Amino acid sequence: MLRIAVQSKGRLYEDTMALLAEADIKITPSKRTLLVQADNFPLEVLYLRDDDIPQSVASGVADIGVVGENEFIEKQEDADIISRLGFSKCRLSLAIPKHIDYQGLQWFDGKKVATSYPNILRKFMNDNHIHANIHVITGSVEISPGIGLADAIFDIVSSGSTLVHNNLREVEVVLKSEALLIGNKQMSQENKGILDEVLFRFEAVRSAQDKKYVMMNAPRARVQDIINVLPGIKSPTIIPLADPNWCSIHTVLDEKRFWEIIGKLKELEAQGILVTPIEKMIL
């Protein structure tokens, strides 16, 4: 049985549970149970605080865990990074009161900085030869300058709305973070086999993200021109139609270039363009 440590609440919890569901690993949520077994897969979920996950994986309490890169780097636990999951993205930044005329990192010399990430901040300051007074605080870091507890803060930033609400502005991005899948270095061979299947499913889900399956009818005389503008994974599928002068073309498009390419297809006389989302994609 493979055990995965997951944050017990918050955005990382929601994104992780959504990924497991899309990988067809069915977990019945329970507010009272910290350890829940999947209904249809040899995996159990251990719900923990986010800052406890690196240690639980490093010590073998859990085989794998989903944790923010910021927490993993801060805790400095001895575990492997198995995969970058691409969700729950944020950044660790330095922020100061918005009225201050900021001229550069030297401003922080001798200043008191409140943070829940002292190890990351200390390394950054040392690397840049800045002598700041690091004040460790848990929770509500952003209010520190407003109540006179610190001159600045070092904290997680997503949209930046919390900073604005507290009359702060972001001045330096120190670390960009996303969800990581980490693993115990001494994982059993049996659980490594289960993990391989989990990774296979995760990759199938991630490969389908931001992709669209596109079908269209086109004059046979324009097929090669249409193929030339399609950046599909491989050669598109060409299907003959009842009318010998027409055929159906099927391909996969990246959503980022979708409208650009659709416009070109219309210029090349493609008709009846049908677009559907992709749930999974096996490469």
Backbone angles phi, psi at 133, to 5 degrees: -95, 110
- For the record, the structure tokens of 208 come out as 């389908």
Residue pLDDT tens, the chain, 283 long: 999 999 998 899 999 999 999 999 999 877 778 999 999 999 999 999 999 999 999 999 999 999 999 999 999 999 999 999 999 999 999 999 999 999 999 999 999 999 999 999 999 999 999 999 999 998 889 999 999 999 999 999 988 888 999 999 999 999 999 999 999 999 999 999 999 999 999 998 888 888 888 999 999 999 999 988 887 556 789 999 999 999 999 998 887 788 888 889 999 999 999 988 888 777 7
Which domains does the chain carry?
A: 2-88+178-207 (3.40.190.10), 90-177 (3.40.190.10), 210-277 (3.30.70.120)
**Cβ neighbours of residue 49 closer than 8 Å, sequence gap 6 or more:** 7, 8
pLDDT for residue 94: 97
pLDDT for residue 212: 86
pLDDT for residue 14: 93
Name the amino acid, one letter, at 240: P
Rg of the chain on CA atoms, in Å: 25
pLDDT for residue 233: 57
